[in-house]
Structure 1
Amino acid sequence: MTYTGDVQVGGPADVRELPALTISKLAVGPFDNNAYLVRCNDTGDGVLIDAAAEADRLLALIGDRPISKIITTHQHGDHWQALEQVAAATGATVIAHPLDAAALPVPVDLEVEHGDRITVGAVALEVIHLRGHTPGSIALHHPGHLFTGDSLFPGGVGNTNKDPERFARLFTDVSERVFDRLPDETWVYPGHGKDTTLGAERPSLPEWRERGW
């Protein structure tokens, strides 16, 4: 089956097989969040990106193969409702940016900054700090693939609550740290809804800047 990234709450995960990684995308309720299980094909090691909700379904997705880390992309509660339960069940290292770490329901074991790398078995995910949606929002980059949390979606950057300074900060970070350095074919896996690519969104950057959201 061809991966599309179109998933529904209560439905099955969509699975993408890459040369180095396998990515499983699962939609969880009640806020239609996306959670991503990323596994190294060589070692079987896994990380979960955003233990958003429905711990039982996330643990079923993880299955009998262990995960070593849970990465929370930002501090908003809809992205960590299942964090405490999944962390307790798996013993995984809890990871977040220090500016958002204090808002999480469990202690953060590893704080990461812009440019750091998080290992998944034999593979590394690059941390990209995208300020504006929250102070400590992060994206995770594997060549050709970008997990953006709530900082970038099809059709625009994340919500900045109509704050011009926050919007300018997020738009600048997304422009400089994502669009200016990553190619059009980079696939975007957001925190809610459907996936996109940088190439599909790049022509709209001037429109986003003009409208201010």
Structure 2
Amino acid sequence: MTYTGHVVPGGEAQVLELPGLRVTKVAVDPKMSNNAYLLQCTSTGDQLLVDAAAEGERLLELVGEAGLTTVVTTHQHWDHHRALAEVVAATGAVVAAGIADAEAITEQTGVGVGRALDHTDQVAVGQVLLDVIAVAGHTPGSICLLVRPEGAAPHLFTGDSLFPGGVGATFGNAEAFAQLIDEVETKIFGTLPDETVFHPGHGDDGVLGDERPHLAEWRERGW
């Protein structure tokens, strides 16, 4: 199957092959249609899961016998960690999350956060390093994960901070929206090239160059 980034709950996962890294994208829960991403270092076989959102059995099938070293939870909202306890219990994976959301994630899931991540921290999956970009606004501790494969475009896992067509919801909070659009503009669009592919917490992937011309429109729109 050619990777398109379009997945639906109950449908097949899609696999994206990058230099040194295999990314498997799956959608879970027909109501919320969350994306989960299994990252595997192709040199070591080590695996990392971005958002144990729901359907723990399905996620564990993807993990398979290779095991799981880390689960990164992109932010504290309930729909992104419903399967966290099940996945961690089955694999013993360490949970990592943004420092400002870590306590809430533990309160909501009963699972301790082993690594509280801050801006510019790194998370390893085998020989591959993921850079942490803290982007507050959708939640105080939302994080994105950036990988720069050798000889290929950067890839960014954005949680609910950035989607094709706009930033994530701030639920009518003007201050949170201003913070989110500022941080997305400076930390993502201000530092990464147009060819950067981003993978959000719901829906299809995007490319920064396609979205960059619309930043002013998003800011004017205010949500």
Q: TM-score, normalised by structure 1?
A: 0.99
Instruction: Give how far 1:2 is off.
Output: 2.2
Given the alignment of the two structures, is residue 86 of structure 1 paired with residue 87 of structure 2, yes or no? yes
Compute the displacement of 1:157 (Å): 0.2
Partner of 1:18: 18
1:23-42 to 2 correspondence within 5 Å? 23-29=23-29, 30-42=31-43
1:187 and 2:188 aligned: no
Root-mean-square deviation (CA, aligned residues, Å) is 0.7
Instruction: Give a deviation string over 1:81-119, Cα, whole Å, max 9, x none.
Output: 000000010000011112111122111011110000000
Stretches of structure 2 lacking an aligned partner (at least 5 in a row): 149-153
- Letter of the structure 2 residue corresponding to residue 211 of structure 1: R
Q: Distance in 2 between matches of 1:3 and 1:199?
A: 19
Following TM superposition, the consecutive aligned residue runs of length 4 or more in structure 1 with deviations greater than 2 angstroms are none
Look up the match of 2:77. 76
Q: Within 1, Cα distance between the matches of 2:13 and 2:62?
A: 8
Give me the whole-angstrom Cα distance separating, in 2, the residues matched to 1:172 and 1:8.
31
Q: What's 2:151 paired with?
A: none
Match of 2:53 in 1: 52
Q: Percent identity?
A: 56
| Rounded Cα–Cα distance in structure 2 between residues aligned with 1:68 and 1:28 | 21
94-103 vs 124-133, greater mean Cα deviation: 94-103
How far apart, CA to CA, are the structure 2 residues paired with 1:46 and 1:19?
15
Structure 1 unaligned spans of 5+: none
Amino acid at match of 2:140: P
Tell me, in whole angstroms, the C-alpha distance in 2 between the residues paired with 1:195 and 1:98: 26
Name the amino acid aligned to 1:9. Answer: P
Q: d(CA) in 2 for partners of 1:111 and 1:103?
A: 12
Of the three residues 150, 157, 163, the one matched with 1:147 is 157
- For 2:128, the aligned partner's letter is V
- In structure 2, what is the Cα distance between the partners aligned to 1:206 and 1:153? 15
1:127 corresponds in structure 2 to 132
Matched, 1:5 2:38: no
Aligned length: 213
Aligned to 1:118: 123
* SS of residue paired to 2:179: helix
